[in-house]
Amino acid sequence: MMDKQNLRKADIFSGTVISLFGLWIVSQALKMPMKDSWGGVQNVWYVSPALFPLFVGAMIALLGALLTRTALKSVGILELGRTLTWLWSSDLVRFLGTPTVIRFYAMAVLFSGFVFLNIPRIDFFLCSVLFLVVFISMFHFDDDSLLIKLLLFYLAGTVITFVFFVLEFPKLLEGHITYAGDWLTLAFILAYCMYAWVLIRPTPVMRRKYRTSLILAVIAPFLIGPIFKYLLLVPMPTEGLVVTLMDAIRYWDF
């Protein structure tokens, strides 16, 4: 665990980032109309939808500034200068390559790919299985060398998927292959599982962890997803290959 002095140094930078984030929220909220006319009725400013994000953004900016001020008073300007010097030294490069930071990279890549690339374009069940297989296996193995290898493999597959959608291959293949993106994701899942199996096959303990990862990754989406889809009637974010098959089974549409 970091000591109090190092935590205060970190608070300077985190507080600054938080303040900037709050100011960004305020800038976006200011783009919303403060008052407007609807059907001949003039709305007053205090019912504007911009008020809530303006308040939230301003509070975030204020609290971030207070955090930075408190940290600066605790650390001092001289110590801040030493920290800034460290940020330009080779020690930072070594720190960015430590196992702890690499784990942070892995989490950032996984969540970014899941939220911004997969969910809007790929069948929800498939992208959930992919995310859980990769996430659980990376961290459940508890092996930094394995994590790096699996992360690089996942990155390669993510880049291929990204290029596939950027070049609009699903539209080009629409007349020949239905749900082309889903089929690509299914192939990605199988390739990742085979690659992980090759890496951990010689170690019995890893094999048990691997089986646990696969069971959880498959059961969780298919246990929770149908409850929302068919009992609560909540549509999935993206419905593709798997949802179509489940609909066919659910309504016996063959």
pLDDT of 35 reads 62
pLDDT of 11 reads 79
pTM of this prediction?
0.75
Highest mean pLDDT among 5-14, 74-83, 209-218: 209-218
Write the burial class of residue 113 (CB in 10 Å: 0-12 exposed, 13-18 middle, 19+ buried): buried
Handedness of CA 77, 83, 88, 90 (dihedral sign): positive
How many angstroms separate the Cα of 196 from the Cα of each of 9, 151, 199? 39, 11, 5
Q: Cβ contacts of residue 184 below 8 Å, gap of 6+?
A: 160, 161, 164
Instruction: Write down the domain spans for the chain.
Output: 4-90, 99-250
Contact 148, 104 (CB under 8 A): no
pLDDT of 188 reads 97
Instruction: Using the predicted structure, report yes or no on whether residue 2 has a pLDDT greater than 80.
Output: no
- Separation between Cα atoms, residue 62 and residue 22, nearest integer Å: 8
Instruction: Using the predicted structure, report yes or no on whether residue 39 has a pLDDT greater than 90.
Output: no
Contact 99, 25 (CB under 8 A): no
Type of residue at 133: V
pLDDT of 234 reads 86
Least confident of 69-73, 74-78, 94-98, 202-206: 74-78
Instruction: Using the predicted structure, report yes or no on whether residue 191 has a pLDDT greater than 70.
Output: yes
